[in-house]
Chain A
Amino acid sequence: MTHPIVPVRLYVLIFGALVALTVLTVLASLYDLGGGRLHYANAIVAVTIAVTKAALVVLYFMHLRYSPRLTWVFLGAGAFWMVILLVLVMADFLTRSWLPIATWGG
């Protein structure tokens, strides 16, 4: 088969990066990164680290980097619909309080 064989050293390097990012996300979660003002700062940092870790796993452990473009299209479609799901749902819930209509939830 013509699939490139990823060198073991690269796998170990990726694993090391994943461990470091795990330690980083735990440490970052212990501090209020928004200084009490930026409400979502911690969440943004946590999601950024998680997306980075997922990207490392997908690109190297799951060989996406060495896969046909069609595989990228499949994963891209999944990610795209996931973004639609989250953005449209939150566009609804986060803006409900803008209208003077009583009362949902909180």
Chain B
Amino acid sequence: MPETHPAHAHQFETPEQQYEVSTLGMWAFLVTEIMFFGGLFAGFIVYVTFYAQGFAEGSRHLDITLGTVNTLVLLGSSLTMAMAVHSAQLGRRSRLLIFLALTLALGLVFLGIKGVEYSHKFHEHLVPGPSFRFDSALAQNVQLFFSFYFAMTGMHALHMIVGAGLLIWLMVGTARGRFSTEYFTPVEVTGLYWHFVDIVWIFLFPTLYLVARHQ
């Protein structure tokens, strides 16, 4: 597409139709993402049923404080993302830029805290593989828990990194004046993706961190 956007591309009747097609396309992609993460959750639920005790021991080794803080950070980033879309709707460019930057910053804080947690797990030999050490009869089951932990949070973090890239792309576009009250579809669509990644974490957090705190 050229830098100066026509109100809509030639195959659409109206800008409205183009906007709805774009957002629906993102929703279709997000449905495939539900199935993708759904497979991981289904696997986790099967094994947490069979190896409840081992998974409980593993879960209690996660840092509930860092997990809670990260949840709040990510919810905050969803608020700033919603505010970014809001600014785009009103055509307020500098405010859009600020909220995109805030969203990116909160996303990076989340990834930073995740990195701290991962490094703790490496130091405590809780990463599955040859260096895994856990002093318990259920060590094998605990190792399986941590396989799920790293697979699920790792895939989630990968989605966050993609989202961060999209935010940078939006910020460049905003600075170049690509968006207007007539055309801000990329902001809205990226927002949908960002909120979805937030929702995945909303389910990951209780599944991994809180599953066995009451025992």
Contacts and interface: CB of A to CB of B under 8 A. Distances in A.
Contacts of A31: 214
Contacts of B23: 67, 71
Classify the secondary structure of B's interface with A. helix
A101 interface: no
A29 B45 contact: no
A49 to B, nearest CB: 7
B24 A86 contact: no
Contact of A25 (B35, B49, B210): B210
Contact of A26 (B20, B76, B90, B210): B210
A82 B203 CA distance: 13
A67 B75 CA distance: 22
A70 B24 contact: yes
A78 B26 CA distance: 13
B42 A74 contact: no
A78 B18 CA distance: 23
Classify the secondary structure of A's interface with B. helix
A90 B38 CA distance: 13
Contact of A89 (B30, B46, B210): B46
B86 interface: yes
A47 B205 CA distance: 11
A15 B75 contact: yes
B117 interface: no
A62 B83 contact: no
Nearest to B32: A78
A18 B35 CA distance: 24
B82 interface: yes
26 contacts: A1-B182, A3-B89, A5-B86, A6-B82, A11-B83, A12-B79, A15-B76, A29-B211, A29-B214, A47-B206, A49-B206, A53-B199, A57-B195, A57-B198, A61-B191, A71-B24, A74-B27, A75-B30, A78-B30, A78-B34, A79-B34, A81-B34, A81-B35, A85-B38, A86-B42, A106-B51
Interface of A: 1-3, 5-6, 8, 11-12, 14-15, 18-19, 22, 25-26, 29-33, 42-43, 46-47, 49-50, 53-54, 57-58, 60-63, 67-68, 70-71, 74-75, 77-79, 81-82, 85-86, 89-90, 93-94, 105-106
